Chain A
Amino acid sequence: MTIAAAQIVALSPLLMITGVGCLALLLDTMAKGRAPALWLAQLGCVAALLAVANQWMGSGSSQPIWSGMLIVDRMALFLDGVLIIAALATLLVAAPFMREHEFEHGEHYALVLFATAGGMTVVHATHLLSLLIGIETMSLAAYLLVASWRRQPAGAEGALKYLLLGAFAAGFLVYGTALVYGTTGGEMSYAGIAARAARAADNPLFIMGAYFLLTGMLFKIAAVPFHMWAPDAYEGAPTPVTGLMASGIKVAAVGGLVRLLGSAFANPGLALGHAGWVRVLGGIAFATMTWGNLAALRQENVKRMLAYSSIAHAGYLMIGLVALGQKVDGAQPALLVYLAAYAATTLGVFTVVAWVGRRDDERLLIRDWAGMARTRPAVALAMTVLLLSLAGVPPTGGFFGKFYVFRAAMQSPDLAWLVVAAVLNSLVSVYYYLRIVVAMYFRDPVRPWQPFPSVGMAIVLFVTVVVVLALGVVPRPVVELAAGGLVTHW
């Protein structure tokens, strides 16, 4: 087995992120203060973005790496870009946040990069083993990031729940992999599984394995009924980490699912009860968005509310997956547009949540946000735009993301009920997003406002709002980028 130079170049974004993570660790021990490691990590992200752009320009076709264990194609590069930008935003927000809350440590930056590297492995994976290892890299770094805010007791609780249920999910993934491996005659690559699926589907063990794999992945995107960890982990994590979990990690897991369901289990002849996993996933999508939205209605804590909102968004995203399973044209680029818009919006929202809290005054309840518009009109406006995007109100990126996914799903008559349910759900969600807006604009402040000034947070907030609005006004460039991801052959 030889390693071709072309493969190294093709994987350069992933290698850069991993390498810079290790270097940041070293630099942190040698340099004085935390700034050098932070700068290195941020520079690494920028360099990796350039490498992604270089790959995008360079090769039009997909390229299998290491005898089909990973693949470099347009979809993976698109999601790479989203993941790296999410990591960069997290780094920019995390540094001032940790300084304010006095738990700054350089390992944090390395762990953010390792989580991102894991996520990138997941979206490149075309083999159950690389999927599993990518998921584990991403998740382990995420558990530790959640636990890293040690003075926060909720952090330890959230991290423990996340770890235990995540380990359980990993068990499902491994068990599923073993069953699929055994029943397909030793296949773990997606192409191999797809080739043998029709024959193996008569074997209940294979079906069981497929559902176990699906279960493990659904844990990671916090779909109902595997969502129990999400509110606690989101609430207990340092706010920038919550932003990373809601954006980067969810994007990676959905990207992994697109590959897994779109190739390995795409065969319509696959038993699982004719419509197969498509019908099951449709039911889970409905349960996820409905449960997420209804639970979000009752939350007083902003972070918990956003956690349930993120569960609801996982439901909308799954509609795209179901459409993909129904072989709808354009389901995959629609999902990618949604993922990009959702990631940008979420990062912006959690940046505001991180910015609002002070060491002695977290301001996590909705009523604490009262009167923000009077002292901080710009941030209140930015938050309003972002919340409208989450609710899916035009002209924001969130609207177009949902619009494309729903339009794709509408092409299949079987999915009309799901789209109707999703639109109704979006209407419900407007209520709780607007609660924050109402508090910011129409309530008198309970305490004086003194959020801390931070250039990094201001940059992230500005960029995310611009991206969200740009996606809403001129979505074409991103839509074309996402459609470039369609040119894949697995």
Chain B
Amino acid sequence: MPTNLVVFYLFALAAVVGAAGVPMSKNIFWSAMGLLSALVGVAGLYVLLSADFLAVTQLLVYIGGVLVLIIFAVMLTSQIKEIEVSNQNVGLVSGAILFALTGTLLCFVAIWAPWKVVLLQSHETTTDIGNGLLGAWLLPFEVTSVVLLATLIGAIVVARKEIKED
């Protein structure tokens, strides 16, 4: 087996096992660790696809930012007294059935589909992405800023203390 393939399966395994661990672990800290494994696995897959910018962004934003924040929130929240049972699994049976159905369907489609195999041409993508965002894709890029603004404002509305007006 070529090294590339071995590395691919390693990363894929990390992603899948980690993702499964998030809902299945009873301890919320281990759920966060599962998320870490899933995100690192996906970042590795990006590297294998020579999506360098995406891989670095995944590391910086999701692992460096979001995940660290989640872990801090878990550790610092005084409300979670019994960390052991903080993550209750509900609807295990229906979830398993749904998973079996969609999983089978996805595997079936993946095997059945005529994949087009092309050789990877590794080149740096950051320049293209930057030009794209300020060129052909400027409009969606700008609309995304409205999404972020709305989210920011809304997060403040939901999180702030109630202000009584006099």
Chain A residues engaging chain B, CB cutoff 8 angstroms: 1, 18, 21-22, 25, 33, 65-67, 69-70, 103-105, 107-108, 110-111, 114-115, 117-118, 121, 129-130, 133-134, 136-137, 140-141, 143-145, 147-148, 150, 202-205, 208
Contact in complex: A141, B139 (CB < 8 Å): no
Knowing A114-B149, A204-B113, the reply to whether A144 touches B138 (Cβ < 8 A) is no
Q: Given the known A-B contacts A114-B149, A144-B154, are A205 and B109 also in contact in the complex, defined by CB atoms under 8 Å?
A: yes
CA distance A144 to B144 in the complex (A): 17
A147 neighbours in B (Cβ, 8 Å): 154, 157-158
Which residue of the partner chain, among A1, A103, A150, A208, contacts B138 with CB atoms under 8 Å? A1
A129-B140, A144-B157 known; A204 vs B147 contact (CB < 8 Å)? no
Pairwise interchain contact A203-B113, C-beta atoms closer than 8 A? yes
- Asked if B93 is an interface residue, CB under 8 A from chain A, the answer is no
Rounded to whole angstroms, the CA-CA distance of A64 and B78 in the bound complex is 54
Given known A114-B149, A130-B139, A140-B147, contact A107–B113 (CB-CB < 8 A): no
B138, B140, B165: the one contacting A133 at CB < 8 Å is B140
Closest residue to A33 on the B side, CB-wise? B165
CB distance from B114 to the nearest CB of A (A): 6
Given A121-B143, A204-B112, A205-B109, the answer on whether A141 and B150 have CB atoms closer than 8 Å is yes
Task: Decide: A1 and B135 in contact? CB cutoff 8 A.
Answer: yes
Q: Which of A117, A121, A137 has the most CB of B within 10 A?
A: A137
B150 and chain A: residue at smallest CB distance: A114
Binding site for A on B (CB under 8 A): 105-106, 109, 112-114, 135-140, 143-144, 146-147, 149-151, 153-158, 162, 165
Q: Which residue of B lies closest to A3 (CB)?
A: B138
Chain A residues with CB under 8 Å of B158's CB are: 144, 147-148, 150
Q: Known contacts being A25-B153, A144-B155, is A103 close to B162, with CB within 8 Å?
A: yes
A204 touches B109 (CB 8 A): yes
Query: With A18-B146, A133-B147 in contact, do A140 and B154 touch (Cβ < 8 Å)?
Result: yes
Given contacts A103-B162, A121-B143, A140-B154, 5 further A-B contacts (CB under 8 A): A114-B146, A133-B144, A134-B143, A140-B147, A144-B155
Task: Specify which chain B residues have a CB less than 8 angstroms from the CB of A103 in the assembled complex.
Answer: 162
Q: Enumerate chain B residues within 8 angstroms of A133, measured Cβ to Cβ.
A: 140, 143-144, 147
Interchain nearest-CB distance for A184 vs B (Å) = 12
Given contacts A67-B136, A70-B139, contact A208 B109 (CB under 8 A): yes
Residues of B within 8 A of A129 (CB): 137, 140
Cβ–Cβ contact A136 & B155, under 8 A: no
Known contacts A150-B162, A205-B109; is-contact A141 B143 (Cβ 8 Å): no
Q: How far is the CA of A145 from the CA of B154 in the complex (A)?
A: 8
**Complex: A22 Cα to B154 Cα, angstroms:** 13
In whole Å, how far is A193's beta carbon from the nearest beta carbon of chain B?
17
Chain A: minimal CB distance from B155 (Å): 7
Contacts of A205 in B (CB 8 A): 109, 113
A203: contacting residue among B114, B151, B153, CB under 8 A: B114
How far does the alpha carbon of A2 sit from the alpha carbon of B112 in the complex, in Å?
44
* Contact status A69-B157, CB under 8 Å: no
* Complex contacts, A114 vs chain B, CB 8 Å: 146, 149-150
Give 14 pairs: A residue, B residue, CB < 8 Å, sorted on A.
Answer: A33-B165, A69-B139, A107-B154, A110-B150, A114-B149, A130-B139, A130-B140, A136-B147, A144-B153, A144-B154, A144-B158, A147-B154, A148-B157, A204-B112
B140: chain A residues within 8 A (beta carbon)? 69, 129-130, 133
> Are A140's CB and B150's CB within 8 A?
yes
Interface centre among A22, A67, A107, A148 (most CB of B within 10 A): A107
Assembled-state Cα–Cα distance A27/B163 (Å): 18
For residue A112, give the distance in angstroms from its CB to the closest CB of chain B: 10
Residue on B nearest A129 in the bound complex, by CB: B140
Chain B residues within an 8 Å CB radius of A69: 139-140
